[in-house]
Amino acid sequence: MNPRVEHLLLVDDERHILALLRDYLSQAGYRISTASHAAQARELLRQGDVDLLILDLMLPGEDGLSLCRDLRASGAAPLPVLMLSARGEEADRILGLEMGADDYLSKPFAPRELLARVRAVLRRSQMLPPNLRPQRPARELCFGDWRLDTVGRQLLDGQGTLVPLTGAEYRLLQVLLERPQCVLNRDQLLSLTQGRDADPFDRSIDLLISRLRRRLREDSREPRYIKTVRSEGYVFCMEVRSLAAPAPR
């Protein structure tokens, strides 16, 4: 039996870029589909079997950020997203990652760099240890007096009051809730939430943990939910109850 060929969906309104990348990535051994706008991309995604979405930020009509946000809010199995943009500002990169992109590449770029990013994102999405993978999809994750609605991507307190989360805060909390009692280091948390590796001076996870503790009204000196494990990482130490999503009909 022949091994399955990984399927990439390229979405860009510049047809010469689509043609160039389609040919280059096809020669690298991938199966390629292309779309020039979001509606066409949605139709191809509904057909399933896509392993990685390579998505331009600036599209006619609905932009790439909106499409990426909707994918992450749908509750479907996570699809790795590599976002492209002709704008290289840091704010655009942060916004793309906040909306759920796994990596971000500024135009112009060398096709070899794109290929390296594609391989890295696919490798990270496929090679996580089994104990770091969620065992089943859940509609709600409940802990203490809190509920995380994974369909609406909302955090609610014991009175049902909505507590707003940024995209990065939501992804980090979901990762922790899906792996209670499991110590996760910074590299693992960055890979699971952003699909990238940490550099030695990267403290973005520490800042996100601090922000998330404030959202959960934690006492920073004696946190109930997210504890620091010195020289190792962080652990969500409270029991988590899950309400499974209904099986598809």
What does the pLDDT look like over 88-119, one tens digit per residue?
555 666 666 666 677 888 888 899 999 998 99
Higher pLDDT, 67 or 244: 67
Topology of domain 132-244, per CATH? Arc Repressor Mutant, subunit A (1.10.10)
Rounded Cα gap, residues 239 and 146, in angstroms: 11
Whether 101 contacts 82, CB under 8 Å = yes
Rounded percentage of the chain residues whose pLDDT exceeds 70:
78
**What is the tens place of the pLDDT at every residue in 24-58?**
999 999 999 999 999 999 999 888 788 999 999 88
- CATH 3.40.50.2300 domain locations along the chain: 7-127
User: Where exactly does CATH 1.10.10.10 map onto the chain?
Assistant: 132-244
pTM: 0.54
pLDDT higher than threshold 90 for residue 195: no
Q: Categorize the per-residue pLDDT at 196 as very low, low, confident or very high, splitting at 50, 70 and 90.
A: low
| Architecture of domain 7-127 in this structure | 3-Layer(aba) Sandwich (3.40)
Query: Could you tell me which of 124, 133, 136, 227 has the C-alpha nearest to residue 183?
Result: 227
Residue 97's pLDDT is 65
Mind listing the pLDDT tens digit for each residue in 139-194? 789 999 999 988 778 899 999 999 988 878 888 998 899 889 999 988 888 777 76
More confident position, 8 or 192: 8
Q: How confident is the model at residue 244 (pLDDT cuts 50, 70, 90)?
A: low
Question: What is the structure's pLDDT at 99?
Answer: 64
Contacts 24+ apart (CB under 8 A), 31-35: 31/5, 31/6, 31/7, 32/7, 32/8, 33/7, 33/8, 33/9, 34/9, 34/10, 35/9, 35/10, 35/11
